Structure 1
Amino acid sequence: MATLADTLLKDLEDLEEENFNNNNDGIKKIKFEEQYEEDDYEEIVDAIEEFLNDKKKKCERKISELLYDEDFLKTMNHIKNYIIEEEAEKLKNEEGTKDTEDGDENEDNIKRKKAKYNSDDENPLNDNNPNDEEVLIEKCIELIIKIDTEILNIHKYLKDIYSTKFPELDSIVYTPLEYISVVSRIKNESDIKNIDFSDILPNTTVMAIVVASSMTTGIKLPDHLLKSCMSFCNEALELNENRQNILIYLENKMFLLAPNLTMLLGSALTARLISCVGSLKNLSVTSSQNLIVVGNSKKSILGLSNVNKTFGVGILSTSEIVQSVPDAYKKKAINLLAGKCSLASRIDYFKKYKEGQYGLLLREYVINHLIKLQEPPPMKQKKILPIPDEKKGRKRGGKRYRKLKEKTEITELRKQINRLPFGPNTNEDFYTFTDQNTALLNSNITKLKYQTKQKTNIPKKKNASAQSSGATGGLSSSLIFTPLHGIELFNPSINKTTSETRENKYFSSLSQFRKV
């Protein structure tokens, strides 16, 4: 039998359950109404705020997709293993046949490094097959281009974020890797004087960065943006390290891909040249004029003169052949080397002269040609005068020679000056230190000029006609002006007759003896 107390407890429990259920129903109704209201009046969230909130949740964001690609990681592991093996061989060659404890320790370290990079997957190629190596070389060249694009993307994104902290840095440091490495060292610090940039930048750019940082209008970055910037910098530097490893691998394997070009330029320069162009096919297609500018990089000079800086010069200017030549011949050396490089790349593309003998001939030709260019011109030999003839040469005479002689003939005035009269002394000229005759200084020189002989050249025909003709001239007349009679007619023949009669007297040549 249930007591009264038990029945009361049961009633109380039932009341509590009913109240609890009613409360739950009310809460559900309120939540439903709130959701309905939210659906009607939902606010549009800004995309930038969402992006920044996601960044806050993720402290470190990854921007490079290439670093997490499986194929890329496999190839990089293989390349790193190859580099480790090459280092081991170099150590063995340096040590020789000596077996020491240090050598064993070095071998153990190399094995550890190799085990670190080895994965469970097999190597991407078989070392015994040369075709697979050529495929990997071409793949490495493609990877270098991809790495360059990734670094450029990181550089652009980093500039957008870090411009709030240091907006002037973009105008001072131009190259992407230098900018990224500078940002990784500055971080969020305001005083840059104590930071060392000597291994990255020249002294002029370091001074410019220090001055700009003291006058900057930037603001410190928040923690989440700074962490993302540092993660981007680390990714870019890691990509650059992988790029350097790929170039080392290509230097060692470049003889398989382009033997003649490696014999001409060297493995390191050939790897850089092919990686800049993209492939051996692209290199064979490009002209020699375009090869001169491949790998051209213009850097900021920051207030220095541009006179001694050679812009527009690419990878070929860093070769040993061009560097060994003086500055005056460097332009010719680059042009000559570019022509031979384009020829060697075409030979390598068509798989001819696989041992590289033609590239060696081209190298010898370029070196010999540059040596000949630097040789001084031959000295002018002194010509010995011929022995004069014993016979005296005939002197020129005639009308033409006489006229030439008259042009250079001494004048009458000069003859008078050259005469040394007896008695008066000569004066010494102060400037020329020569004796000069002063006899004609006081004399009238103009009279001497008019006293000179005036030679008139009369033609022979005119002279003969003038002598033979007895006719009077056109100006002669028979009129005479006299003081007594004025104008009178005058007969000149009468004067002749009178003069003849006067002469025809006793002592005349025409007079004869008279008969008595």
Structure 2
Amino acid sequence: MSLEQELLADFDDRSDDEEEKEADSLNTTLDLYANRANGASSRGNGMQIDGADDEDEDEEMEDAGGGGPNDGDDAAQTRARINKMQLGKVDDVREIARLMEVLEPVLEKIAYYQSQPTPTSIIGSVEQNPEYHLIVESNEHSVEIDSEIILVHKFIRDHYTPRFPELENLVTNPLDYAKTVAVVKNDLQLQPLQSQLRAVLDSATVMVVTVEATTSKGRPLSEKELATVLRACEMTIALDRAKHTIINYVSSRMTLFAPNTSAIVGSTTAAQMIGFAGGLSGLAKMPACNISGLGSKRRAAVTLASNTGIRHQGFLFDSPIIRQIPTDLKLKAMRVVASKV
């Protein structure tokens, strides 16, 4: 029997009495969650609420998206705040975006550990291992990179709009926008650049951008203005590359530092959840009823609405085991899987 079948059988076999008892423990669950920072107990004490109504359970997950120490502002609020900034008079993107300076030593450490033979086991406490601390730190930075890319994207738009004002509405993805600007530069005669643009954009978007460029009322940028824009484009691409390096590194180490969690939800999801919770101990102390919502606020800010009926689609929703579950069973499956993490 596959892991998916075992988990589905688990919640199908639950008795009505057990579900009623779990629903009655809701108040205790919330109290424990509120006090977990003071050493409250973990999810083993009646943290699962399979008997509750699905809609009520979904509402209960809402607070989970902000349960991690790395949550900070909601990503949508961050984007809205950045979009209000006027960055056209800032001469150098490095004056406002300095995360790459912080990431460089982290990336050097990652490169060092990747060059070493991968250990087959951990001796002593996992949380005392120096590589584990690098994993947690790297995960925290991967969250910060998203906000930094949004900030640099706003800088590029403010400085490149005088040349091609229509482009920001045609290419809304920050990374694609930066790559497109790096290709187009000052030349709006895009026919010779078709192959380079198709390496960044789909054919339909390339066609629309090409047509709009012929009628654009923008003005050419000076050499200094263009250099400012291209430096910011390079930073966006470097930030995205750093994020992928971090994600790949952390995911590759999850089977070593969190083998059980990785076996259930996959190494990528395990890395996201552990990073968002502030480490293995933070995830271990988190009630199961709140694990399903981890990362849901960040996801909502960058994705379109769906018709799944699950409002809080966080890291667990995107895990391999949940993706293959039928839509009408996803919410219940998420609760069961969360209790196993």
TM-score where L is the length of structure 2: 0.58
- Could you tell me how far apart the structure 1 residues matched to 2:146 and 2:239 are? 9
Tell me: CA distance 1:200–1:219, structure 2 relative to 1, closer, same or farther (3 Å). same
Secondary structure in 2 aligned to 1:217? coil
- Within 1, Cα distance between the matches of 2:278 and 2:202? 30
When residues 75 and 291 of structure 1 are mapped into structure 2, their CA distance, relative to the original with a 3 A threshold, is closer
Residues 135 and 250, structure 2, Cα contact 8 Å, conserved in 1: yes
| 3-state SS of paired residue (1:287) | helix
CA contact (8 A) 1:127 1:133 kept: no
Cα distance between partner residues in 2 of 1:158 and 1:273: 32
Equivalent in the alignment of 1:158: 156
In structure 1, the residue matched to 2:140 is 142
1:342 corresponds to? 338
Alpha carbons 1:288, 1:341 under 8 Å: kept: no
Shift of 1:189: 1.3
Listed one character per residue, the Cα deviations across residues 468-506 of structure 1 (whole Å, up to 9, x for unaligned) are xxxxxxxxxxxxxxxxxxxxxxxxxxxxxxxxxxxxxxx
User: Match of 2:38?
Assistant: none
Aligned residues: 240
2:100 to 47, 56, 67: 67
The answer to whether residue 117 in structure 2 is matched with residue 78 in structure 1 is no
Matched, 1:290 2:288: no
CA distance in structure 1 between the partners assigned to 2:299 and 2:278 by the alignment: 12
Q: Is the CA contact 1:298–1:311 (under 8 Å) kept in the aligned structure 2?
A: no
Post-superposition offset of 1:205 = 2.7
**Higher relative contact order, structure no. (Cα contacts within 8 Å, ≥ 6 residues apart):** 2
Match of 1:230? Answer: 230
**Residue type of the alignment partner of 2:234:** N
Spell out, residue by residue over 1:19-48, the C-alpha distance to the aligned partner (whole angstroms, 9 max, x if none). xxxxxxxxxxxxxxxxxxxxxxxxxxxxx9
Deviation at 1:231, TM superposition (A): 0.8
Partner of 2:186: 188
The Cα of 1:273 is off from its aligned counterpart by 4.5
Of Structure 1 and Structure 2, the greater helix share is in 2
The 5-angstrom pairing of residues 31-50 of structure 1 reads none
Identity %: 22
Match of 1:469 in 2: none
Are the equivalent residues in 2 in contact too, given 1:180–1:236 (CA < 8 A)?
Answer: yes
Structure-2 change in CA distance of 1:320 and 1:250 (3 Å): same
Q: Give the superposition deviation at 1:157.
A: 1.0
Q: Distance in 2 between matches of 1:307 and 1:75?
A: 39
Q: 1:197 to 1:337 in 2, by over 3 A?
A: farther
- Superposed CA deviations along residues 60-91 of structure 1, whole A, max 9, x for unmatched, are 7634323334xx433211201233446xx8xx
| Gapped regions of structure 2 (runs ≥ 5) | 1-85
Alignment partner, residue 62 of structure 2? none
CA drift of 1:262 comes to 0.9
2:170 to 164, 172, 175: 172
Q: In structure 2, how many angstroms separate the alpha carbons of the residues matched to 1:336 and 1:320?
A: 16
2:214 is matched with 214
Give yes or no for contact 1:152–1:176 (8 Å, CA) kept in 2. yes
Q: Which amino acid aligns with 1:62?
A: R
Which amino acid is 2:336 matched to? K
Distance in 1, Cα, partners of 2:101 & 2:293? 36
Matches within 5 A, 1:312-391: 315-316=315-316, 318-324=318-324, 329-332=326-329, 334-345=330-341
SS of equivalent to 1:197: helix
Change (3 A) 1:282 1:164: farther
Q: Find the counterpart in structure 2 of residue 362 from structure 1.
A: none
Change (3 A) 1:138 1:161: same
Q: Which letter maps to 2:214?
A: S
Larger Rg: 1
Between the aligned partners of 2:139 and 2:198, the Cα distance in structure 1 is 31
TM-score under structure 1 length normalisation: 0.40
Q: What is the Cα deviation at residue 251 of structure 1? A: 0.7
Which residue identity is paired with 2:157? K
Could you report, residue by residue, the CA deviation over 1:215-262 in whole angstroms, capped at 9, with x for unpaired residues?
A: 322222111010011111112211221211111121122245543321
Rounded Cα–Cα distance in structure 2 between residues aligned with 1:273 and 1:66:
22
State how 1:234-249 maps to structure 2 within 5 Å.
234-249=234-249
Shift of 1:287: 2.5
Partner of 1:467: none
Letter in 2 for 1:213: A
- 1:254 aligns to what? 254
Aligned-partner SS, 1:182: helix
- Ranges in structure 1 where 5+ consecutive residues have no aligned partner: 1-47, 90-125, 301-305, 346-516
Counterpart residue identity of residue 101, structure 2: Y
SS state at 2:163 partner: coil
Partner deviation per Cα, 1:132-184 (whole Å, 9 max, x = no partner): 22222211112212322222211111111111111122222222222212211
Q: Kindly provide the CA deviation profile for residues 345-395 of structure 1, in whole angstroms up to 9, marking residues without a partner as x.
A: 4xxxxxxxxxxxxxxxxxxxxxxxxxxxxxxxxxxxxxxxxxxxxxxxxxx
Shift of the 289–250 alpha-carbon distance from structure 1 to 2, 3 Å rule, reads closer
* 1:192–1:316 Cα change, 3 Å: farther
Tell me the amino acid that sits aligned with residue 202 of structure 1. D
CA distance in 1, matches of 2:230, 2:245: 23
Alpha-carbon distance in structure 1 between the residues aligned to 2:112 and 2:104: 12
